[in-house]
Amino acid sequence: MPDLIQLLPESVANQIAAGEVIQRPSSAVKELLENAIDAGANVIQLIIKDAGKTLIQVVDNGCGMSPMDARLCFERHATSKIHQANDLFAIRTLGFRGEALASIAAISQVELRTRRHEDEIGTQVLIEGSELINQQPIQCSAGSSFLVKNLFYNVPARRAFLKSEAVEMRHIIEEFERVALVFPEIQFSLIHNGRTIFQLGKSSPRQRIIQIMGNHLNSVIVPVEEQTDFVKIHGFTSKPEYFKKVRGEQYLFTNGRFVKIPYLQHSIESAYEGLIPQGSFPSYFIHLEIDPSKIDVNIHPSKTEIKFLNENLIYAVLKAAVRKSIGQFSLSGIINFDEEWALGDGELKPGEAIKPPKIQFNPHYNPFQPQNFQSSPEKRNLQNWQKLYEFPENVPKKKDENLIETTHLRPIEESENGEKIRESGFLQVHQKYLITVVKSGMMLIDIEKAYQRIFYEDFLQSFEKEGIPSQQEIFPLNIHLGQAESVLVNQMKPTLALMGFNIDNLSNNTFVIQGIPNGMDATEAKESLETIIEHLLKEEDTEKADIRFISAKTMATTLARHHLRPLKEEEMRELTDKLFSTTMPSISPIGETILKIITLETIEELLK
């Protein structure tokens, strides 16, 4: 049998390796920006065309390269940043693998112009699919300009996998922001298709956050500072009065690098335990400076994963630092929040958690179409629900006066003419749960989740008809969004209008909400819209993401949260009827359990 193994041609090997480092235009952007920073630049320009599919250019005023280095830098494992294995544990630069440029050059056409400050004349290198096409001396400014054209031109499969312009541009903006947030002393600009998206002057760390994320953070972020023998922590975190429904504005950096370390993210979030409602998230921009010998960055080519030597210790210090800063800078804010933050009956016992804000509700509130809710025309699953009421003959008929008094439960009674009245009573527990008697025992319903299911299906139905009617706001609301969010909202305007949100772009990142979905109040609408935007930002492909489902879910959960109140028996019955006429009465639109039946056996077992 002949030998089967062959060495791959270098061009193929390069393409395979490139796939690890450069997955999409934003990966190339990240690598080029990091190189510019490592080169000591203090002015960095990023120019993009067609979301990076046709052009990515990074121009810096850093150290530049000699003609020899300008050619060598495209070789695999060519780096000026480390020289020996030991250097891996003393990394102070963002790059060190000597792979990025080789990878970019393997899958695109690159033009590099570079000149060292001390040289009179610069050099131009043209390279295409790893092959040197030309090198010649040229006049150019000191620093480097990398111009990357037609990324993946020779890897059609990869190119076909690229997402829409809006999605790819969002990724680019994300990478740009992650780098720009770390280096406020560097001037950055980002131009897309001739339009300036960012023009960031030299600034302080706080100003840089605001330049990028928007003014709304100015009054809600507080500084975090801590220094121990092995870690220095600095940055900003949000006051507990500000929180998001999904993890959005969360940035953790280690030695100048944006990192994703769920363990440490958890440490920060846990500092907010008891201070913000469950299921919501703080915003933070926190930097850890650690001796490079105590971390390993070389786990993944994208370098966003890092291993620490003293992970547990860092967890504890980080949590304490965040907790301290929230306490120091915002406790007075929380106490001023009095009604909303109901700190018990005025006294907070040691160790007792602060309760989340009370939910305001309007007892006369009409969810979308009140008549819909009450009449419940489609009795699709009503029979199912009624089946649950059919009592077995052996249910004790004797009524316990006490029980009836306190619970209003009337499991089964006989009317004067001896007919069985199959009517069950309802009991509301702490405004949150509803209990009713069913054939096999009792049914426990989570009221908020029941509303979620009902509203969710109402919304979907409205979408299918002619969209959700919009009501004009007398005092239009302004919202300020980040750059990535603004791109998304502009793209989504027509769909948002179908959902009842009429939005206009006032200036760059400021939008005005002229109309909100009928039946919602301004606060609910604003909260829903912000959450919808956050959810959509997380979606890989906004065009394919079914925005109807995402919005219906968000709007339904927001409305339901604001809907808890004491219910009359009749209302509890209507709620249950309506729930059982939905397509899925037992599961909420976010996949949680709405109801459980507790059987008589279980109750007996419990009371043994």
Ligand X SMILES: Nc1ncnc2c1ncn2[C@@H]1O[C@H](COP(=O)(O)OP(=O)(O)OP(=O)(O)O)[C@@H](O)[C@H]1O
Residue 79 found at the interface with ligand X (CB under 6 A)? yes
Residue 479 found at the interface with ligand X (CB under 6 A)? no
> What does 79 interact with, of Mg ion, ligand X, none (CB < 5 to 8 A by kind)?
ligand X
Residue 85, number of CB atoms within 10 A of its CB = 7
Which CB atom, from 151 or from 547, has the smaller least distance to Mg ion? 151
Residue 122 found at the interface with ligand X (CB under 6 A)? no
In angstroms, what is the minimal distance from the CB of 7 to ligand X? Answer: 23
In angstroms, what is the minimal distance from the CB of 46 to Mg ion? Answer: 15
Residue 95 found at the interface with ligand X (CB under 6 A)? yes
∠ CA(595), CA(596), CA(601), 5° rounding? 160
| Rounded-to-integer distance, Cα 511 and Cα 13, Å | 48
Cβ-proximal residues to 374 (8 Å cutoff; 6+ apart), any chain: 574
Residue 35 found at the interface with ligand X (CB under 6 A)? yes
The candidate with the shortest Cα–Cα distance to 253, out of 209, 293, 187, is 209
> What does 98 interact with, of ligand X, Mg ion, none (CB < 5 to 8 A by kind)?
ligand X
> What does 499 interact with, of Mg ion, ligand X, none (CB < 5 to 8 A by kind)?
none
Which CB atom, from 80 or from 586, has the smaller least distance to ligand X? 80
Which CB atom, from 38 or from 458, has the smaller least distance to ligand X? 38
Q: How many residues line the site for ligand X (CB under 6 A)?
A: 24
Which CB atom, from 113 or from 245, has the smaller least distance to ligand X? 113
Query: Both ends of the chain: CA-CA distance in Å?
Result: 75
Among 15, 26, 27, 35, binds Mg ion (CB under 5 A): 35
432 three-state secondary structure: coil
Helices and strands in the chain: count of H runs, count of E runs: 19, 24
> What does 148 interact with, of ligand X, Mg ion, none (CB < 5 to 8 A by kind)?
none
Residue 19 found at the interface with ligand X (CB under 6 A)? no
Which CB atom, from 98 or from 441, has the smaller least distance to Mg ion? 98
Q: Which phi and psi angles does 121 have, rounded to 5°?
A: -125, 145
| Rounded-to-integer distance, Cα 513 and Cα 522, Å | 10
In angstroms, what is the minimal distance from the CB of 95 to Mg ion? Answer: 3
Cβ-proximal residues to 409 (8 Å cutoff; 6+ apart), any chain: 403, 424, 425, 427, 436, 437
The candidate with the shortest Cα–Cα distance to 537, out of 286, 117, 174, 54, is 174
> What does 60 interact with, of Mg ion, ligand X, none (CB < 5 to 8 A by kind)?
ligand X
In b/e form, how buried is each residue of 424-456, taking b as 16+ CB within 10 angstroms? bbbbbeeeeebbbbbebebbbbbbbbbbbbbbb
Residue 36 found at the interface with ligand X (CB under 6 A)? yes
Residue 252 found at the interface with ligand X (CB under 6 A)? no
> What does 80 interact with, of ligand X, Mg ion, none (CB < 5 to 8 A by kind)?
ligand X
Residue 39 found at the interface with ligand X (CB under 6 A)? yes
Helices (H), 433-482: 447-464
Residue 551 found at the interface with ligand X (CB under 6 A)? no
511: DSSP letter: E
- Mask for 134-173, x = binds ligand X (CB under 6 A): ----------x-----------------------------
Q: How far is CA 301 from CA 8, 114, 170, 339, in A?
A: 21, 26, 21, 50
Residue 100 found at the interface with Mg ion (CB under 5 A)? yes
Residue 124 found at the interface with ligand X (CB under 6 A)? no
Which CB atom, from 39 or from 536, has the smaller least distance to Mg ion? 39
Residue 105 found at the interface with ligand X (CB under 6 A)? no
User: Per CB under 6 A, which of residues 481..540 are in contact with ligand X?
Assistant: none
Residue 78 found at the interface with ligand X (CB under 6 A)? yes
Q: Which residue's beta carbon is nearest to the bound Mg ion?
A: 95
Q: Tokens at residue 432, please? A: 């949150």
Whether residue 547 contacts residue 439, with contact meaning beta carbons closer than 8 Å, is answered with no
| Rounded-to-integer distance, Cα 247 and Cα 181, Å | 18
Q: Which phi and psi angles does 557 have, rounded to 5°?
A: -70, -35
Among 22, 60, 122, 447, binds ligand X (CB under 6 A): 60
> What does 256 interact with, of ligand X, Mg ion, none (CB < 5 to 8 A by kind)?
none
Classify 30 in phi/psi space as left (phi over 0), alpha (psi -120 to 50) or beta: alpha
Which CB atom, from 119 or from 473, has the smaller least distance to ligand X? 119
Q: Which phi and psi angles does 465 have, rounded to 5°?
A: -75, -110
Residue 26 found at the interface with ligand X (CB under 6 A)? no
Residue 101 found at the interface with ligand X (CB under 6 A)? yes
Burial of 168 (0-12, 13-18, 19+ CB in 10 A): buried
Residue 437 found at the interface with Mg ion (CB under 5 A)? no
Which CB atom, from 44 or from 317, has the smaller least distance to ligand X? 44
Contacting residues toward Mg ion, per CB under 5 A = 35, 95, 100
Contacting residues toward ligand X, per CB under 6 A = 31, 35-36, 38-39, 60, 62-65, 73, 78-81, 95-102, 144
